[in-house]
Amino acid sequence: MRIGLGINYAGGFKEVAAEVADLERAGLDVVFVPEAYSFDAVSALGYLAAKTERVQLASGVLQLYTRTPTLTAMTAAGLDYVSDGRFILGLGASGPQVIEGFHGVPYDAPIGRTREVIEICRQVWRRERLEHRGKHYQIPLPDGQGTGLGKPLKLINEPVRERIPILLAALGPKNVALAAEIAEGWQPIFYLPEKANDVWGAALAAGRANRDPALGTLDVYAGPALAIGENVEPLREFIKPHLALYIGGMGAKGKNFYHDLATRYGYGAAADRIQQLYLAGDKDAAAKAVPDELVRDVSLIGPAGFVRDRVAAFRESGVTVLNVVPLAGSTLERARLIEALRELC
């Protein structure tokens, strides 16, 4: 399996770039740059392209609603150019809290918009004169909706690749089926190998049934926290606030994708309790309510033998990339964790 890592979006680009260069030498295959309501991901990706040589650079993820489809395609082509063909376009719908709460854009039709954005991106990369008549995007604007001066255009530059790999972050059955049908990669969150087929198996099968063979095999990117060594199990407690934030705080009751996922994993009662406590403002109690077993099974935290067994479970469930979160306090320690994981993969 390949090894990936997401940078901290709260940090500075210069410090991160120096660390990524060290991790690249330690065997890192992919670095993900997130985009929440932080610095934009594109600036960091361009900076990293100039400071690295081999590692793939992925947006993790560009939010679907915050750029026009053609700007997304232009940006991906530009990043692929400056990185000499190392870019992966990670796309995701995010959620209403960020899209409506921070960007002020309606959160609507994520599945339909995702399909059309990808169709448009691939047209742009093939340098076709762009004409798209979809439900959500009309390019050029039809008569009566604009000045009438818009004519089909094609990208001026020659892209490095006419098919830049696309990775979709998806959780719900319809979104997951779409990823399996039209994307090169799929990125779930809080991936639990033993439950993955129960939760996503039918959706993945439905998508793969309609998949273009030219896309190749679907890459699956799991994102476990990582700590390898004797007596590191107490570090699992650091994962609980993060899980509580998503299960309890990312949305209202009935509109929280992550609560739904925990429920489908078999932790419905715990998910309800976490959400109740989190929405009441008791974040500490919400974190304590996260089941130990859930933390253990979605993470790679333990002795080398335990981690080796968990890596095998991830592989057997279909994971091709471990996009890890190293629990370490320094660049050197994180590099050592990547090296140790490489030996176990």
Q: Residue 302: beta bridge partners?
A: 228
The pLDDT of residue 84: 98
Separation CA 244–CA 282 (nearest Å):
11
The pLDDT of residue 94: 87
Q: Quote the radius of gyration of the chain (alpha carbons, Å).
A: 20
Phi, psi of 307 (to 5 degrees): -65, -40
What is the rounded average pLDDT of the residues 95-115?
93
Residue 325 near residue 226, CB atoms below 8 Å: yes
pTM given for the model = 0.94
Is pLDDT at 9 greater than 90 in this prediction?
Answer: no
What is the rounded average pLDDT of the residues 258-286?
97
The pLDDT of residue 252: 81
The pLDDT of residue 36: 86
Residue 311 near residue 322, CB atoms below 8 Å: yes
CB crowding 232-250: b at 16 or more within 10 Å, else e: bbebbebbbeebbbbbbbb
The pLDDT of residue 162: 96
Residue 342: both structure tokens together: 């490489």
Is pLDDT at 42 greater than 90 in this prediction?
Answer: yes
The predicted-structure confidence for 119-130, as pLDDT tens digits, reads as follows: 999 999 999 999
The predicted-structure confidence for 233-248, as pLDDT tens digits, reads as follows: 999 999 999 999 999 9
What is the rounded average pLDDT of the residues 28-55?
94
Number of neighbours of residue 75 by Cβ within 10 angstroms = 21
Residue 340 near residue 228, CB atoms below 8 Å: yes
What is the rounded average pLDDT of the residues 327-340?
95
What type of residue is 89?
L
DSSP run (H or E) holding 282: none
Percent of the chain with pLDDT over 90: 88
Q: Locate the DSSP E strands across the chain.
A: 2-6, 30-33, 56-59, 62-63, 87-92, 132-133, 138-139, 166-169, 185-187, 219-222, 225-228, 300-302, 321-326
Separation CA 56–CA 341 (nearest Å):
18
The ranges assigned to domains in the chain are: 2-226+304-344, 233-302
Distances (CA, A) of 249 to 18, 65, 95, 256, 263: 33, 22, 12, 8, 15
Contacts 24+ apart (CB under 8 A), 285-291: 286/244, 286/248, 286/249, 287/240, 287/241, 287/243, 287/244, 288/240, 289/244, 290/239, 290/240, 290/243, 290/244, 290/247, 291/267
Percent of the chain with pLDDT over 70: 99
Number of neighbours of residue 13 by Cβ within 10 angstroms = 17
What is the rounded average pLDDT of the residues 201-220?
97
What is the rounded average pLDDT of the residues 94-99?
86
Is pLDDT at 253 greater than 90 in this prediction?
Answer: no
Mean pLDDT of the residues in the chain:
95
Is pLDDT at 135 greater than 90 in this prediction?
Answer: yes
CA nearest to 175, candidates 216, 133, 206, 217:
206
CB crowding 26-59: b at 16 or more within 10 Å, else e: bbbbbbbbbbeeebebbebbbbbbeebeebbbbb
- Quick one: fold of 2-226+304-344? TIM Barrel (3.20.20)
Predicted confidence band at 206 (pLDDT cuts at 50, 70, 90)?
very high
Distances (CA, A) of 196 to 180, 243, 338: 14, 17, 25
Separation CA 146–CA 149 (nearest Å):
8
